[in-house]
Structure 1
């Protein structure tokens, strides 16, 4: 993030002595991006942050993918991944299932009911959308309370854990990058401030509470990192002599934050707006958009639902999280569904949707879209909940099986 935060007592000058109440030194850790040539934060630890007692392999959840071949659009029912009896024993780290992925981004899903282990993604940033439920994301920077509609953006290598609350599952949609995830550059000044035409701004972001020092010993941290396993990934568990949540203060421009989809101000027009008008974040070779309840096109001859379009440069993934998605009616898609429209396939509204929605003034829909600029492959989760019929839904009774 561009704007500077200072949490807790920090010394007046960087990289100078910062002493404990008993006269010892706090241990300063610089956490920075792009070889310390981009955003960074300074964290002050009570103990040495690099100390580890042991390391062992962590067998990651299945990261294998298969090509979308033969090429066709897909409908994936994510709620079927976690039946009622499964979510109570599932956590957000070891229990997440891979739905789609390529070399730039992996899309996963989990319905969780128990706290996760401490976790650090060393391959890239994570953007996690909370479909439903509530909980707390405990991080080395402090805690974030989260609930329905929240995007949680976690910078690469941020140590954290997910703690669900209540007696219903915390349903999470994971967007794991091999890069950083940021607000779109066109919404920012050259110095990083949100511009006036941006659909959200700094006031809409929630940042961590003051760090809570945890005094525990022999603590495990699960780490996902680059390796020679499926997807070029591997897992390791480090055992630390002291709990990593020993930060007493920090400052800088790199930290986790939360943005709620209800605070996104949609950009509308007299005629249909293209998908970039709905963008909320971007990463290397992919973008994240969201479609929120909004007034729709108000030209007297407007066609409110999307026109048929071909993604000549990208695959389009839509996660449907609420409302009525008018263009997809009759396809079987509902809340918890994911549609994959691959590059090379022209797609658009289901039969009858255009005529049915002529004259509509408002759409009550909520969806998270990821467009990737390299083809996506199916993970084990995506393969297991493919409905098998969506590709033929535009052809009606003449569909193949």
Structure 2
């Protein structure tokens, strides 16, 4: 599939300094906030990190717009059905693996805002730790509405249907197989050119996502910064009133703007929405024996205060060759310190060939045993270990150092697979020879 609008243009690079203008001469030269900006625009700074963050870590962008975002009026509470924020008080976390069938699309008109449903979450948004994993289940565009999240950045993983994401800094068109990363505090709108759409969202309350260090892998491999695409400046013509929904301190609020919030004529900086095509991920694997750790599939990481232990990781399992000798090739049985929320965008996951379907999810919390089902184990232990291409598949994992808490929607929303544990029932005890 191609972008809904093939005229959209992008800038290459993740965390790079960008400079873009929709009208020539809109960017000031040499000064960020001159006494009078070009075209009589308003300068506005968006800071994604503390002012004094180290230069290499600092994320900020200067916007030059027709009207500053402070012109918003008063906010009133907005109904809050399925979008939750940690911590959940008196939550009960079962010490067992969990799995969900594909989440059902809505039958009533539902846009991205009202279609967000929290499945699991952890940490404390006020303490800027942890994350939440949501699904979005929507069938109409956000007509006359916009959304801004002051609590965390959003990582969108479309599973069914393309998204056209209009942001203050420009427009991203994202299809299944691609992802979009939207900074905290940036106003955006989601349109659905293909109609009913489903996908996954990581709401990250901790340190902003970045590319992982490569260590002994060296200077090349995994995701390349140049393959992340930021939008060029674009602004909308004046229109009627727009409802702005704001997530702030775990609550949803609404106000009515007298004009479009997408009025930024030019911007420069390194805090920007980006999209990334997972087909560009350079997978690394074993070419001798043994199954390597899944950390080699990390696309983005949000570090914690413990070096090497992430607040959140985004990991993918893309098409790749398996060539290891004398090796159990699917993921082995394991218990981890890290907790894993997993989704399937398309295809078949090699460790769960039957029960894990696109649009569904699974949860394996810290130190909860999990691994291949009985069918996958028997197939893998008896297979002819010729070179094998895993193709036509894309699974992903939101991984976190903190234990995930399932929400009432996760437990009672109708998608929970009550028979998940049965997939291991056929693994009988084996007596030593």
**2:334 equivalent in structure 1:** 309
Residue 152 and residue 29 in structure 1: after superposition, are their counterparts in 2 closer, same or farther (change >3 A)?
same
- State the superposition RMSD in angstroms: 2.3
Q: Is the 8 A contact 1:289 1:369 kept in 2?
A: yes
C-alpha separation between the residues in 1 aligned to 2:159 and 2:351? 21
> In the alignment, which residue of structure 1 is the partner of 2:270?
253
Q: Which one of the candidate residues 308, 324, 342 is aligned to 1:299?
A: 324
* Structure 1 gap segments, 5+ residues each: 189-193, 227-232
Q: Distance in 1 between matches of 2:47 and 2:394?
A: 34
Aligned positions of 1:40-189 closer than 5 A: 40-62=60-82, 63=84, 67=91, 69-80=93-104, 82=105, 85-86=107-108, 89-103=109-123, 104-116=130-142, 117-166=145-194, 168-187=195-214
Determine helix, strand or coil for the equivalent of 1:391. helix
Equivalent residues in 2 for 1:19-30, closer than 5 Å: 19-21=37-39, 25-30=40-45
Indicate yes or no: 2:307 matched with 1:281: no
Deviations 1:130-184 (A, max 9, x none): 1121131000001111111111100001100100003x42222111111344233
Partner of 1:191 in structure 2?
A: none
1:267-304, Cα deviation, whole Å (9 max, x unpaired): 111231211001111225121100001001x2331221
Task: Name which of 338, 343, 351 aligns with 2:366.
Answer: 343
Q: Which blocks of at least 5 consecutive residues in structure 2 are unaligned? A: 1-13, 53-57, 124-129, 305-310, 429-433
How has the CA–CA distance of structure 1 residues 205 and 70 changed in structure 2, closer, same or farther, with 3 Å as cutoff? closer
Aligned equivalents of 2:156, 2:396: Cα separation in 1: 11
Structure 2 residue 376 is matched with structure 1 residue 353: yes
Q: Is the 8 A contact 1:61 1:95 kept in 2?
A: no
C-alpha distance in 1 between matches for 2:345 and 2:315: 13
Is contact 1:97-1:380 (8 Å) kept? no
TM-superposition CA deviations, 1:299-352 (whole Å, max 9, x none): 3312211111111x221111012222121135x222222111122222111124
Q: Aligned with 1:207: secondary structure?
A: strand
With over 3 angstroms needed to count, the CA separation of the structure-2 counterparts of 1:277 and 1:118, relative to structure 1, is same
TM normalised by structure 1 equals 0.87
Q: Is the 8 A contact 1:318 1:370 kept in 2?
A: yes
The equivalent of 2:9 in structure 1 is none
In 2, the alpha carbon distance for the partners of 1:287 and 1:47 equals 37
Q: For residues 170-203 of structure 1, what are the alpha-carbon distances to aligned partners after superposition, in whole Å with 9 as ceiling and x for unaligned?
A: 2221111113442334049xxxxx9732312133
| C-alpha distance in structure 2 between counterparts of 1:60 and 1:198, whole Å | 42
Q: Please report how far the alpha carbon of residue 59 of structure 1 lies from its aligned counterpart in structure 2 after TM superposition.
A: 2.2
Query: Does residue 1:241 correspond to 2:258, yes or no?
Result: yes
1:269 equivalent in structure 2: 286
Which residue does the alignment assign to 1:4?
17
Moved more, 316-325 or 195-204: 195-204
In 2: Cα distance, 1:262 partner to 1:374 partner? 29
SS of the residue corresponding to residue 106 of structure 1 reads strand
TM-score (norm 2): 0.81
Answer whether contact 1:310 1:343 (CA < 8 A) is retained.
yes
Equivalent pair of 1:127/1:181 in contact (CA under 8 Å): no
C-alpha contact 2:212 2:298 (8 A) present in aligned 1? no
CA contact (8 A) 2:118 2:134 kept: yes
Higher strand share: 1
Structure 1 residue 223 corresponds to structure 2 residue 246: yes
Taking structure 1 as reference, are residues 205 and 69 closer, same or farther at Cα in structure 2, changes over 3 Å only? closer
Structure 2 match to 1:230: none
Q: Does the Cα contact within 8 Å between 1:11 and 1:18 map onto a contact in 2?
A: no
Matched-pair contact (CA < 8 Å) for 2:199–2:359: no
State whether residues 54 and 240 of structure 1, in contact with CA within 8 Å, keep that contact through their aligned partners in structure 2: no
CA contact (8 A) 2:44 2:68 kept: no
In the alignment of these two chains, the number of paired residues is 376
SS of the equivalent of 2:231 reads coil
3-state DSSP class of the match of 2:173? Answer: strand
Secondary structure of 2:119's aligned partner: strand
SS of match in other structure, 2:377: helix
